[in-house]
Amino acid sequence: MTLPKAQVDAISNLGLAHMGDCVYELLCRAYLCARGEKKVDRLHAQTIRMVRASAQAQFADKMLELLTEEELAYYRRGKNAHVHAVPKGATPAEYARATGVEALFGALFLLGRKERANEIFNLVMEEDHGL
């Protein structure tokens, strides 16, 4: 599904993050499968490590220099969203950055810019395989 920019811009910050949560997890799952892991329990455990807020916050720190002004605006929208709860394993700052990552990936997906989402994800993962 591709939406016009005006429609994407009308989606709430947390709505974009909701969409981006699944987009980011899908990218993580594909990345792990492409690396050759075959055991589903290991795939699941590694995916969980990659999608937790602290790992997404680290991803955000590496990703920011790659973004255009428009992409940075979507990231900031998510980062500045008013969330009502923070998971136990994350600080509020980590959770804010993670929400920014999710909002950006949600916006890119809905705008039909899947190749750009892949490009950003792959550039960061090439830089640091430890996520």
Active-site annotation, residues: 21
Angle between helices 92-110 and 69-79 (to 10 degrees): 130
Q: Name which of 74, 98, 80, 100 is nearest 8 in CA terms.
A: 74
Contact at 8 Å (CB) between 2 and 112?
A: yes
Cβ atoms 123, 34 nearer than 8 A: no
Of 10, 5, 16, 6, residue with least CA distance to 78:
16
Which residue from 31, 127, 117 is spatially nearest to 68, judged by alpha carbons?
117
